[in-house]
Amino acid sequence: MNHHHHFVPDFEADDDYVNANTNSSSSNLPRKPIIGEEEDGDLMELLWHNGQVVLQNQRPNTKKQPPSSSSSSAPPPPLDHNLFIQEDEMSSWLHYPLRDDDFCSDLFFPAAPSSERQASNQVTAARPPVPSTVRPPEPSSMRPPAPSSVKPPVRNFMNFSRLRGDFTGRGESGPSTVRESAKVNPSATPASSAARESDLGSRSAVDGGGAYTVGDNRKGKAVVTTEPARENQGTSSSVASKSEIETIVDERKRKEREAIDETECRNEEAKQGRGSSSTKRSRAAEVHNLSERKRRDRINERMKALQELIPRCNKSDKASMLDEAIEYMKSLQLQIQMMSMGCGMMPMMYTGMQQYMPHMAMGMGMEMGMNRPPPPPPPFMPFPNMLASQRPLPPQTRMGGYPPVQASDPSRVYGSNQQFDPNSSQAQFSAYMDPFQQFRSLHPSQPPQFQNQAASYPSSSRVSSSKESEDHGNQTTS
Amino acid sequence: MSSRRSSRSRQSGSSRISDDQISDLVTKLQHLIPELRRRRSDKVSASKVLQETCNYIRNLHREVDDLSDRLSELLASTDDDSAEAAIIRSLLNY
């Protein structure tokens, strides 16, 4: 469709020839604006060659002149032979066998007529490297879509028809299609179908390449795919759809593995020459090495995946990354627990919590406001136990406005160990906030306050263990 | 553990991150993950632990999202001045 814009849309309404011209011109690369579009209003003969539209007017140009003799409303289709022709035009096109051998040959085949035939065949198969060449010296310019403007009209027709049918689905990425067809000889079917598959993904790439996007979504548009030569080669990367790229990567991996296997085989063979015992040992060692390598690769893969899951993880070494993963998981667990408790407690807020309202209003969070037995803890977190703090709230709530901090406190505490009991909960409130702060947007100044409070708490094994975990964290990060 | 680590690092010399350290961490991870905690065997491979960790974290993320949705619904149903709203907001900003 896009290509169609280039051309006067009005043309569509016009006779076939005009349409064909517009189509063809749009399809090919050097979309020379259909120059002659306006010339006669009607008939515009576009000579499409090698991706370039050589505009042919109605002027009495001999060579390229399309059989303007026909000069009927249906302009000589021969011009379109090499051009992109729409399906509906096929019939009209077919009706006009090539009359101008010269015409065609000049355009497309510099060679003699005899060679033209071959050339045309080749053209269909090969991909013209440069679309811009007007007279493509090589027959390759005649891509499959151009059904033979040349000598053996019939033959070309065959190609075209064959190709045409396949192009129907193409529409999107011409270049890929072109590429494919170029590779395959005029058996358009496999090429186009293959191209079609890859086309789906690569449409944009193709366009970028200047390739003629076949599909301009016109059904049955035969695209003259004069794909630039580079497309042919570099195509896979540019045109390759995502799947193609993935397959390429997979292929590379496969090749690596194969290479590894090959070297293994070779080594094995070499070893066999030395002697059975050494061979066995070396073989075993090799097998071991290989399995070890695979195992490490798998682990590294998983580590990378894990690193992606952890927010703001910029650690490069394994140990610190694992540390962060552990901290993050704990904080997540804590967060979930708190939120689920909040969900469950909300309806019951007014029943037993009134005394703690003021504190809650300060945004202290549920864990501070609850002085009653917490709901049954989730399986992995005895966190609620910790909430049953015996301490009076006010001292704690002086923090005021640190709801997140409060929340992180328990998490940090939790991080140190998994078993809480109310008595030791106070000890937990030494806030080693740092590890968790990175997971939450906490104010950096908050922690110190907690630490002050923590000092007043009796140190317990929990505290030491939490400190230890902090040391652990510090150590790994330092 | 810290003493263990320091001695370990002393032994390993330049590299502060030893395999033992990593396996320790992996074990810790294993204990955190409910699925693997039950096994409590030393035979769980590191790769499996890492895989389960990723899955578990994804599950946790999903739970957090669900709970956030529920909390926001709750918040919508309460007065903005109430303490409930304050609590819910604090939870949501967690």
User: Using CA atoms, how far apart are residues A222 and A145, in angstroms rounded to an integer?
Assistant: 5
Tell me, yes or no, if B60 comes closer than 8 A to chain A by beta carbon.
yes
In this complex, the residue of B2, B45, B74 whose CB is nearest that of residue A346 is B74
Residue A157 near residue A147 (C-beta atoms within 8 A): yes
Tell me, yes or no, if B8 comes closer than 8 A to chain A by beta carbon.
no
Q: Which residues in chain A have their CB less than 8 angstroms from residue B91's CB? A: 338-339, 342, 365-366, 407
Q: Please check the confidence at residue B57 and state whether its pLDDT lies above 60.
A: yes
Residue A124 near residue A144 (C-beta atoms within 8 A): yes
Chain B closest-CA separation from residue A456 CA (Å): 25
b or e along B27-37 (b: 16 or more beta carbons within 10 Å of the residue's beta carbon)?
A: bbbbebbeebe
**Mean local confidence (pLDDT), A411-436:** 41
Which residues lie below 8 Å from residue B9, measured CB to CB, with a gap of 6+? B16, B18
User: Using CA atoms, how far apart are residues A26 and A34, in angstroms rounded to an integer?
Assistant: 8
Give the tens place of pLDDT for each residue, B67-85: 888 888 877 777 777 777 7
In this complex, the residue of B25, B60, B90 whose CB is nearest that of residue A333 is B60
Q: Which residues in chain A have their CB less than 8 angstroms from residue B60's CB? A: 329, 332-333, 336
Which residues lie below 8 Å from residue A154, measured CB to CB, with a gap of 6+? A97, A148
Q: How high does pLDDT run on average in chain A?
A: 53
**A288: confidence class by pLDDT, cuts 50, 70, 90:** very high
User: Using CA atoms, how far apart are residues A470 and A434, in angstroms rounded to an integer?
Assistant: 9
- CA B40 to chain CA mean position, Å: 17
Widest Cα–Cα separation across chain A: 108
Residue A331 near residue A440 (C-beta atoms within 8 A): yes
Comparing C-alpha atoms, which of A394, A392, A409 is closest to residue A447? A409
Q: Please check the confidence at residue B55 and state whether its pLDDT lies above 70.
A: yes
Comparing C-alpha atoms, which of A333, A384, A330 is closest to residue B28? A330
Comparing C-alpha atoms, which of A406, A428, A407 is closest to residue A417? A428
Q: Which residues in chain B have their CB less than 8 angstroms from residue A361's CB? A: 83, 86
Q: Which residues in chain A have their CB less than 8 angstroms from residue B58's CB? A: 309
**A286: confidence class by pLDDT, cuts 50, 70, 90:** very high
Q: Check residue B32 and give its pLDDT.
A: 79
Tell me, yes or no, if B21 comes closer than 8 A to chain A by beta carbon.
yes
Tell me, yes or no, if A85 comes closer than 8 A to chain B by beta carbon.
no
pTM of the prediction? 0.35
Chain B closest-CA separation from residue A451 CA (Å): 20
Using the beta-carbon criterion (under 8 Å), do A365 and B67 form an inter-chain contact? Answer: no
User: Using CA atoms, how far apart are residues A79 and A153, in angstroms rounded to an integer?
Assistant: 12
* Other C-beta atoms lying within 10 Å of the C-beta of residue A56: 27
Taking only residues 280 to 309 of chain A, the set having a beta carbon closer than 8 angstroms to any beta carbon of chain B reads 295, 298-299, 302-303, 305-306, 309
Tell me, yes or no, if B64 comes closer than 8 A to chain A by beta carbon.
yes
**Mean local confidence (pLDDT), A296-304:** 89
Which residues lie below 8 Å from residue A268, measured CB to CB, with a gap of 6+? A279, A282, A283, A286
Chain A closest-CA separation from residue B3 CA (Å): 10
- CA A153 to chain CA mean position, Å: 43
Q: Check residue A290 and give its pLDDT.
A: 94
Using the beta-carbon criterion (under 8 Å), do A329 and B83 form an inter-chain contact? Answer: no
Residue A131 near residue A116 (C-beta atoms within 8 A): no
In this complex, the residue of B5, B21, B28 whose CB is nearest that of residue A326 is B28
**B47: confidence class by pLDDT, cuts 50, 70, 90:** confident
b or e along A198-226 (b: 16 or more beta carbons within 10 Å of the residue's beta carbon)?
A: bbbbbbebbbebbbbbbbbebebbbbbbb
Residue A176 near residue A206 (C-beta atoms within 8 A): yes
Chain B closest-CA separation from residue A10 CA (Å): 54
Place of tokens 């703001």: A312
Taking only residues 27 to 56 of chain B, the set having a beta carbon closer than 8 angstroms to any beta carbon of chain A reads 28-29, 32-34, 45-47, 50-51, 53-54, 56
Q: Please check the confidence at residue A72 and state whether its pLDDT lies above 50.
A: no
Angle of helix A16-27 relative to helix A87-95, nearest 10 degrees, comes to 120
What token pair was written down for A109? Answer: 């085949």
Q: Check residue A455 and give its pLDDT.
A: 40
Using the beta-carbon criterion (under 8 Å), do B47 and A298 form an inter-chain contact? Answer: yes
Tell me, yes or no, if A472 comes closer than 8 A to chain B by beta carbon.
yes
Using the beta-carbon criterion (under 8 Å), do A309 and B67 form an inter-chain contact? Answer: no
In this complex, the residue of B32, B51, B70 whose CB is nearest that of residue A326 is B32
**What residues does each domain of chain B span?**
2-92
Chain A closest-CA separation from residue B26 CA (Å): 7
Query: Which of the residues A336, A411, A474, A476 would you substitute to probe the B interface, choosing the one with the greatest number of B C-beta atoms within 10 Å?
Result: A336
Place of tokens 């999107």: A172
What token pair was written down for B83? Answer: 């303490």
Number of H helices, E strands in chain A: 24, 2
Give the tens place of pLDDT for each residue, A303-332: 888 888 888 888 788 888 888 888 888 898
Between A83-97, A194-208, A243-257, B50-64, the lowest mean confidence (pLDDT) is in A194-208
Amino acid, single-letter form, for residue A232:
N
Residue A81 near residue A45 (C-beta atoms within 8 A): no
Comparing C-alpha atoms, which of A238, A171, A170 is closest to residue A210? A238
Torsion, Cα A413 A419 A422 A428, to 10 degrees, reads -20
Backbone angles phi, psi at A52, to 5 degrees: -115, 140
Q: What percent of chain A is predicted at pLDDT more than 90?
A: 3
Q: Please check the confidence at residue A183 and state whether its pLDDT lies above 50.
A: no
